[in-house]
Structure formats: structure tokens, C-alpha cells
Amino acid sequence: MKQALLILTLTLGLGSPHAQAQKDSDEMSKLIDNEFKFAATQYKLLAKNTPENLTPQSWKAELGKIDARDIQWWCSGFFSGSLWYIYEQTKDTEILKEAEKALKTIEPNQTYTDNHDLGFMMYCSFGNAYRITGKPEYKDIIFRSAESLATRYRPSIKSIQSWNKNKYFNCPVIIDNMMNLEMLTWVSNEGGDPKYKKISIEHANTTLKNHFRPDFSSYHIIDYDLEKNTILRKATWQGAADCSAWSRGQAWALYGYTMMYRFTKDKKYLKQADGIAKFILNHPNLPEDMIPFWDFDAPMIPYAKRDASAGAIIASALLELNRYTNSTTDKQKYLHAAKTMIKSLASDNYKSKEGENGGFLLMHSTGALALNSEIDVPLIYADYYYLEALARYKNWFL
């Protein structure tokens, strides 16, 4: 009898690796579709809660209102970008209307030169809009934004200056800046000035040389002397210490070098991305659910605050890195880790309840604990990279 059941089971394919893979695929497909439906509902609420001509950053639960910022805040493009991801998956016309409205709000940023984050602001928003609609006016705005961002390039250090000189730093370049290279490189590839891609490559090479430790972890800030082309100090602004591995900084680094490999196929960028991924995934302080503490060297681990935004960024980056690495073992490891992160973020441990959290999707992000700012709150960029990870998983692995 047992032998007959075994034969029947094998005949039907039940319990086979193929059947299990199909089951996993079906579960992820259902999860992703449900998350985008949930996102559409939440973001209609978020749009309603957000004051005119401002962009949502977080939710002030104690006040019952949105923490909204002006359009020159570095995160101003993530709301529109998230709406475009949601529209792409749901075709909800109300979401489309909000996405277009959010674009109009931040459009003046295309000529803004006082911020290194034009990529976040204008490519995550108008870049997604152009990819989905093909409207030439969106492409024109991205081109002008790249021109504005390029004004912050400093030839003496072959880098884009992140923040203006201030009482703390002379010429700070932060690891986050890797993310803004995507817009510059894309514009050159789309017929814009080739110098933008050259700037991106030079910035990536300088960062590769100066930002990283032997274990592939990254400093947050390198402060330069522009005249002497020397490093004044290696420091942090948002991490636990100058020598620590601030989690979101490691996420920016992983995503940035994976993206630069996409554009250049330069193997040193792929090697760097692989090294950063292994630093993150093999770190003894990475929790079982793979959503990092706010700093890999944070005090009070395992009681330290988590950073869902770092988890979302890492998940999205690992999905892309999976496509480039030649190692079958690494492919499996990166995909498994990204899937674990997505499932964790989609669980009740991190996901808002419908109608709550001001309309944001995720809870438990940490903006700058060292500055006592945005601790254990929703953050707009956590939602953005979570939606991107969901879309990437659906497009590439289902």
C-alpha cells in the first residue's frame, strides 16, 4: 500500500522539486498582487493626507498627521515614483491621476543645483513616468535634471560633492551619492551629453577607492580638501560611529555598484557588489528575518531598532545582482535572501494595517537615530524600494 502511494505521488509530481518550485512561485505571485492592491488603497489615503505642494516623508502618529516636506527635500521624488510603480501593476486611473499630480509638484526641481540628490528626486519620479508612458516632456525634464546635477561635479577629486561646505565638513561625499549616478548614466545612454556617464564612472571609481574597508563595508562620509585633493577625514552622520557599518549606507553601496555594472559591464563593479552583498548576508548581526538593525554595529543589539528601508533597498539590489553574478550558489543565495526580506516586509511585523499609518505601507524604518530623527517610523523611500523589489521579483522571477 505504501509503495503504491509512493508511486502515485511520484507519478503526479507531488512533493517533487518542480512542484515545490511551482508552489513557491504561486505564493509569491499572490503575495505581490495582493501587496500592489493594498498599496493602491493606502496611497489614495496618503495622497488625501498630504498637503498641497508638499511631499510626504513620514507619519507623525502622535499628532495624527503627515510629516510633509517641501519639494527641495531629497526624498521628494519617491512619492510620485511609488505611485507610478503602483499604477504600472494595477492600472488604477485614480493612482495615475495622483502620480501625474505629484510630478507636477516637483517639476521645478529640474533646475535645482543645491542638492546632490537630483537622481532620487527626478529619476525615481520622472524616470519611472517616462519608462511607463514614453512622454517626451518627461525625458526632457530628466535631461535638464542631469545638467543641474552635473554642476556639483568637482574635477579635482573626480567626485560629485554631496553637501555644501558647512561647519562640520569641507567637501563631503557620501555613499548615498552612488544612487544618483543612475540618472546621469541613463541620460548619456539616451543621447545626452557623454560627459554625464564619464562623471558617473569617475565618481564610482573614486568612491570605490576611498569609501570602503577591506571587508567591503563602507564609510558614510569622505570629507575632501578640494585644493589639495586629499582626504580630511572618514566619518559618519547617520551611523553609530565613524568606524561602524551604517545599514542603509551598505544598502546604497550594494545597489549603486550593481547598477553601475548594469550600465558599464565593468567587472570591478560586479566584484564590489558581490563583496558588499556577502558582507551584509554573512554578517553575524543580520537578524533571521534579514531586516537589518539600523547599524550593523549598533549598540544594544538585538534590542536595537530595525531599518525596514535598508531591507527594502537590499532586497531590490539583490534581485538585480542575481541576474549578473556567474556563481550558481550566489544566484540562489541572493534570490533566497531577497525573497526572505520581501516576505518579512509583507508580514504583520512590518506592514501597516489597511487604513492606518497615514497611508504608508511599511513600519519600522530608521532615518537618523544618531541625530534622534525619524526613529521607528514609516519612510517614503522604504515604500518606494519595497514596491520596486516586488515589481522586480514579478518581472524577473515569475
- The residues assigned a catalytic role are 117, 176
Rounded-to-integer distance, Cα 182 and Cα 197, Å: 9
Write out the H or E segment, with its range, that includes residue 26: helix 17-49
C-beta contacts of 271-276 below 8 A and 24+ residues apart: 272/208, 272/212, 272/216, 273/317, 273/321, 273/324, 274/321, 274/325, 274/330, 275/216, 276/216, 276/217, 276/218, 276/250
Number of H helices and E strands in the chain, helices first, is: 14, 9
207 Cβ contact list (under 8 Å, min separation 6): 159, 173, 175, 177, 178, 222, 256
310 burial class (0-12, 13-18, 19+ CB within 10 angstroms)?
buried
Distances (CA, A) of 279 to 94, 282, 284: 42, 6, 10
Write out the H or E segment, with its range, that includes residue 100: helix 93-106
299 Cβ contact list (under 8 Å, min separation 6): 240
* Strand 230-235, strand 221-225: pairing: antiparallel
On whether the CB atoms of residues 32 and 396 are closer than 8 A, the answer is no
Rounded-to-integer distance, Cα 215 and Cα 274, Å: 12
Per DSSP, 352 falls in state P
Which of helix, strand or coil describes residue 93?
Answer: helix
Here the cell at position 337 is: 535572501
What crossing angle do the helices spanning 308-324 and 247-264 adopt, rounded to 10°?
A: 30
| Cell 558588499, located at residue | 276
